[in-house]
Amino acid sequence: MHLSDLWFIAIAVLWAGYFVLEGFDFGVGILLPFLSRGDDTTRRVMINTIGPVWDGNEVWLLTAGGATFAAFPAWYAALFSSFYLPLLLILIALIIRGVSFEYRGKRDGARWRRGWDAAIFLCSLVPALLWGVAFGNIVRGIPLNAAGHFTGNFFTFLNPYALLGGVTTLALCTLHGALFLALKTTGELRQRANATAAAVSLVAIVAGAGFLAWTGAAYLAPASYGGAASATRAASVALAALAAVTLIGAALANRRGREGVAFAANAVAILAAVGSLFTALYPRVLPSTTSLAYSLTTANAASAATTLAIMTVVACVFLPLVLAYQAWTYWVFRKRLAGPPPATFATLAMPPSPTAPSAPRR
């Protein structure tokens, strides 16, 4: 295996981790106006379930982007020039979303908090939808010329396959958020989350099955067409089947009140689905619909071997430390939230009293 292949796998793992971890963040934000039913206390509890981890989860996106820039500069350049507008919309949404978490509790006013809560909802929905549209177009391919320049326009991205990908990621993120809330809360909010997960799981199963089946039927090209070898194509189909089985298992576990099993099964479904897409893409990294010869691959888009070797050493040193720290964070904040404890809310949920000591940040 060449180092370029190893880094293609590493980038796939980073994206899979991002969708698993940031996926339930997006889901909680999407469900905020629906499960809270206008109750500010419930909204505070929902936001506090992701309060200690949401910003750490976004590090996976930064790392995936940085790894792509360093390992496959031609891929990175083509992506950010071709997908400029969708990526700009996602970036703006992520910025406003982060500001909303921090600012919603800076003023004690119902109108102030409702405005920031609406921003959290919208800026969680937009990335959850557009990431699916973007990845659908990456797998399907975009019009590239011999210089690797995009020759289409914004409406090139609005094809049925990519739009179905957007619906799939939106449904999976919403389901992931509902299962996370059911796992992290108690009482009526937990019951609402369970009921919501049961309903959304049907949409996720239908959309996900349709999207992965379409991928296998139309875009899992054999090696003679610039796609993968037979063993790699078989792996993509196997991962798609695993995603379907575990997604159904998550829905069944949720109906039986097994929140931990349901959340873990849905996480595996997301991991398998992302793995299936990247496996279907390999050895291409960005297919060209103009001509097969213009496609970017792990060979012609990679950095020099020395660069990849240095990156591999650095990753082997620092990646275990990052994973250990994030695992420790989740372990510390593993308990359910039964209500709004007066002394433990983060500033994103409730500002401290001007006459009392500041509450510890979580």
Average confidence score pLDDT of the chain: 87
pTM of the complete model: 0.87
Note the pLDDT of residue 115.
92
pLDDT in tens, 160-219: 999 999 999 999 999 999 999 999 998 899 999 999 999 999 999 999 999 999 988 877
pLDDT in tens, 322-358: 889 888 888 888 888 775 444 343 444 444 444 444 4
Note the pLDDT of residue 339.
52
Task: Give residue limits of the domains in the chain.
Answer: 3-332
pLDDT in tens, 297-317: 998 899 999 999 999 999 998
pLDDT in tens, 121-147: 999 999 999 999 999 999 999 999 988
Is the per-residue pLDDT at 38 higher than 80? no
CB atoms within 10 A of CB 272: 22
User: Which of 27-36, 230-239, 279-288 is predicted with the least confidence, judged by mean pLDDT?
Assistant: 230-239
Q: Mean of the pLDDT values across residues 262-282?
A: 93
Domain 3-332 classification at class level: mainly alpha
CB atoms within 10 A of CB 112: 14
Dihedral angle sign, alpha carbons of residues 298, 131, 169, 218: negative
